Amino acid sequence: MTNRKEKLRIGVLASGGGTNLQAIIDRSLDGSLDAEIAVVLSNNPDAGALERAAQKGIATRCINHREFGSREEFDRAMVAALQEAGVELVVLAGFMRIITETFLTAFPQRIINIHPALLPAFPGLHVQQQALDYGARFSGCTVHFVDGGVDTGPIIIQAVVPIIPGDNADRLAARILEQEHLIYPRAIQLFAEGRIKIEGRQVIITPPPPDVSGALVNPALNS
């Protein structure tokens, strides 16, 4: 990690099973991610993510959105919990709530999300099925900064996943998830190393990574 003595303190927000959280936990434990998970927050008391964190002795908090009168009130409670834990980067990992301006202004350019499609194609929900229904030949996953829109913020890293004959949403989702588990820790590491800068819609990475050359073609040219 460059220019930092301390590990980056991250707060992970998850509503569900938490396999992305698990990948982040595993990478921080094996030393390949210079980040410390300061807290895991969920809006869902039954989230598997809370259990995964607790098993590793990571602080958890459940803040149930149903107990709040408005999105803003809920977000204020989330922000307070994150600030209390000294969080520097907010990592949304299957967090199923819309973030309000209250949240965005508390962590400017410091909230990232993972989405299981190749944005800007297929924002929103049920996107693996959408990609199949559309007849796309590729989908994938995207880590991006969060802005005021739904899945619209500047893109940090993407992985491309081919759609194959006979695919269904579950099989495609599983192959995309494998890539999510690789690119999310990588995006956090780039942030931890201080290598990420946002210029308009562009995310500039310094020093620049090696060029990605070549193209994927599906179906293959020689098929």
Q: Which residues bind ligand GRF (CB under 6 A)?
A: 14, 16-20, 93-94, 114-116, 177, 180
When the beta carbons of 73 and 130 are compared against ligand GRF, the nearer one is 130
Provide the minimum distance between the beta carbon of 11 and ligand GRF in the complex, in angstroms, as a whole number.
15
Q: How far is CA 155 from the centre of its chain?
A: 11
Identified catalytic residue from 115, 126, 144, 181: 115
CA angle, 87 as apex, 38 and 155 as ends, to 5°? 110
What is the nearest approach in angstroms of ligand GRF to the Cβ of residue 91? 11
Rank residues 104 and 118 by Cβ distance to ligand GRF and give the closer one: 118
Reference 85, options 107, 112, 114; nearest CA is: 107
1 versus 150: smaller Cβ distance to ligand GRF: 150
Min. distance of Cβ 80 from ligand GRF in angstroms? 24
In three-state secondary structure terms, 55 is helix
Q: Is 106 helix (H, G, I), strand (E, B) or coil?
A: helix
Q: Which residues of 42-61 are buried (b: 16+ CB within 10 A; e: fewer)?
A: bbbeebbbbebbeeeebebb
Nearest to 100 by CA among 61, 167, 149: 149
For the bound state, the minimum distance from the C-beta of residue 201 to ligand GRF, rounded and expressed in Å, comes to 21
Minimum Å gap between C-beta 222 and ligand GRF is 32
User: 160-176: b or e for each residue (b if 16 or more CB lie within 10 Å)?
Assistant: ebbbeeebeeeebbebb
State the residue number with the nearest CB to ligand GRF. Answer: 94
* 115 noted as active-site residue: yes
Nearer to ligand GRF, 12 or 196 (CB): 12
Given the complex with ligand GRF, which of 8 and 50 has the nearer CB atom? 50
Q: Are the beta carbons of 100 and 92 closer than 8 angstroms?
A: no
Which residues make Cβ contacts (< 8 Å) with residue 27, sequence separation at least 6? 33, 185, 189
Question: Any idea which residues carry the catalytic annotation?
Answer: 115
